[in-house]
């Protein structure tokens, strides 16, 4: 049977949307005649990103609970009831063979209604500290695909399958030589290059750090490939020089990774999974402004295996130069970090997740 119907939900951030789209793409590759429907939150980025990826999406009137008492919180019970009723109607009409949730608020009502209708459910948790929606759904899910060890803290052990996170392999397969890659960015291949990644929008604290340390980098004879994000490009492009390239967005991530000797990055689940595949020494600066501080937990999971360095935002002024200098002075530490982070790569994650979904079709 090729006319399977798959319903997927994941959103709020790219970290939830991208895995859902990657899973759908792999299912579509295996079952070209299958039908797909995404369900998201009406005012979130999935309503734009999912159609761009070629899939239909329906929106629910749902949002998360704010940490302080607000009018939005008073609306939450009404939004939840509305979303559960709408999700039930969607499930009834679409009749999916499997429901897949990758986190985000909209996946809660959808998977709850799918499960209560007897539809097999698969969860995919990207982070080392599980999100609230997946924790609430775990008891009724058939399988839970994770990227980290010790996830039985959050989920029933017998349901957990360690698959890794879906990765944009086309972006991270480092096929180009360092010479080609540095030439692409107008750099000298004989000099060491620091790649700075703050996400597509940018990370204010990382940008402030890099601006402050530019002279320090130059004195060490380093080149800086600085992806500052589109929100900050106007502010920082004045620092562009022969040894500093300031980009709003990196269109050729494969070449950026090939050019890099050391990488400074946020610690979102997708970034961490990609950087494991790249296998270069990384300094993670986790964002403290995310749910359950999951970026810090993601980075700690690598630090525990001697696979990365982590600096919290409040440590940067006191610690950055010392920790960075120690790393750059020691080829042995650079090699160890690169080797250990590479060991944690799971490049076939998407296929393994889909293998588990396929088992439920049988």
- Which strands, in side-by-side order, build the sheet including 244-247? 244-247, 223-227, 193-197, 262-265, 282-284, 309-310
> Token pair of 144, please?
């839970």
Q: What is the reported pLDDT for 11?
A: 81
Provide the β-strand partners of residue 160.
144
Q: What is the reported pLDDT for 12?
A: 77
Task: Identify the residue whose tokens are 């950087």.
Answer: 275
Q: Are 289 and 319 in contact (CB under 8 A)?
A: no
Q: What is the reported pLDDT for 362?
A: 74
The number of angstroms, rounded, from the C-alpha of 338 to the middle of its chain's C-alpha atoms is 20
pLDDT digits (tens, 9 = 90+) for 134-152: 999 999 999 999 999 999 9
Q: What is the reported pLDDT for 22?
A: 93
Task: Identify the residue whose tokens are 């070209």.
Answer: 32
Q: What is the reported pLDDT for 106?
A: 87
Whether residue 10 is annotated as binding a ligand: the answer is no
Whether residue 116 is annotated as binding a ligand: the answer is no
Task: Identify the residue whose tokens are 């775990």.
Answer: 138
Q: In the 3-class helix/strand/coil scheme, how is 281-305 assigned residue by residue?
A: CEEECCCCCCHHHHHHHHHHHHHCC
Whether residue 13 is annotated as binding a ligand: the answer is yes
Q: pTM value?
A: 0.87
Whether residue 14 is annotated as binding a ligand: the answer is yes
Q: What is the reported pLDDT for 65?
A: 56
Distance, in Å, from the CA atom of 39 to the CA atom of 106, rounded to the nearest integer, reads 7
Q: What is the reported pLDDT for 91?
A: 97
DSSP string, 235-252: HHGGG--SSEEEESS-S-
Whether residue 295 is annotated as binding a ligand: the answer is yes
Give the relative orientation of helices 14-30 and 269-278 as an angle to the nearest 10 degrees.
60
Whether residue 103 is annotated as binding a ligand: the answer is no
Q: What is the reported pLDDT for 67?
A: 52
Distance, in Å, from the CA atom of 357 to the CA atom of 362, rounded to the nearest integer, reads 9
> Token pair of 338, please?
């690169």
Distance, in Å, from the CA atom of 254 to the CA atom of 250, rounded to the nearest integer, reads 9
| Run means of pLDDT, 10 residues per run, the chain, 362 residues | 88 84 95 96 88 93 62 68 88 98 91 96 95 93 96 97 86 77 95 90 90 96 95 95 94 92 95 93 93 89 97 96 97 97 94 97 84
Whether residue 202 is annotated as binding a ligand: the answer is no
Phi/psi at 249 (nearest 5 deg)? -150, 145
Q: Are 13 and 104 in contact (CB under 8 A)?
A: yes
Q: Are 255 and 224 in contact (CB under 8 A)?
A: no
Q: Are 10 and 16 in contact (CB under 8 A)?
A: yes
In whole angstroms, how far apart are CA 258 and each of 128, 182, 232, 280, 284?
A: 27, 8, 25, 9, 19
Q: List the one residue out of 252, 236, 291 whose CA is nearest residue 268.
A: 291
Q: Are 163 and 353 in contact (CB under 8 A)?
A: yes
Q: Is 58 helix (H, G, I), strand (E, B) or coil?
A: strand
């Amino acid at each position: 049977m090729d006319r399977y119907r798959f319903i997927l939900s994941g959103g709020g951030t790219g970290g939830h949307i991208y895995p859902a789209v990657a899973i759908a793409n792999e299912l579509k590759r295996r079952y070209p005649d299958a039908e797909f429907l995404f369900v998201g939150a009406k005012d979130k980025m999935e309503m734009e990103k999912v159609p761009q990826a070629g899939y239909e999406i329906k929106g629910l009137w749902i949002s998360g609970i704010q940490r302080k008492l607000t009018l939005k919180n008073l609306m939450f019970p009404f939004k939840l009831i509305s979303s559960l009723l709408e999700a039930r109607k969607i499930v009834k009409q679409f009749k999916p063979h499997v429901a897949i949730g990758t986190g985000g608020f909209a996946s809660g009502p959808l998977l709850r209604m799918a499960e209560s209708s007897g539809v097999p459910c698969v969860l995919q948790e990207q982070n080392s500290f599980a999100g609230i929606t997946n924790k609430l759904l775990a008891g009724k899910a058939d399988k839970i695909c994770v990227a980290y060890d010790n996830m039985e803290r959050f989920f029933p052990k017998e349901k957990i399958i360690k698959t890794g996170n879906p990765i944009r392999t086309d972006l991270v397969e480092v096929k180009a030589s360092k010479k080609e890659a540095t030439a692409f960015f107008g750099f000298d291949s004989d000099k060491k290059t620091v790649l700075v990644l703050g996400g597509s929008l940018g990370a204010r604290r990382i940008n402030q750090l890099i601006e402050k340390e530019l002279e320090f980098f130059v004195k060490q004879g380093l080149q800086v490939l600085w992806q500052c994000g589109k929100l900050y490009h106007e502010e920082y492009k004045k620092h562009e020089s022969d040894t500093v390239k300031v980009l709003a967005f990196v269109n050729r991530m494969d070449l950026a990774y090939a050019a890099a000797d050391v990488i400074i990055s946020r610690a979102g689940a997708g970034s961490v999974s990609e950087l494991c595949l790249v296998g270069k020494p990384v300094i993670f600066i986790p964002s403290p402004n995310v749910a359950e501080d999951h970026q810090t937990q993601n980075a700690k999971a690598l630090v525990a295996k001697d696979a990365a360095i982590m600096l919290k935002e409040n440590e940067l002024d006191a610690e950055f130069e010392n920790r960075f200098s120690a790393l750059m002075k020691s080829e042995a530490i650079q090699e160890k970090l690169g080797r250990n982070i590479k060991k944690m790569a799971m490049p076939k994650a998407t296929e393994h997740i889909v293998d588990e979904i396929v088992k439920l079709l049988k």
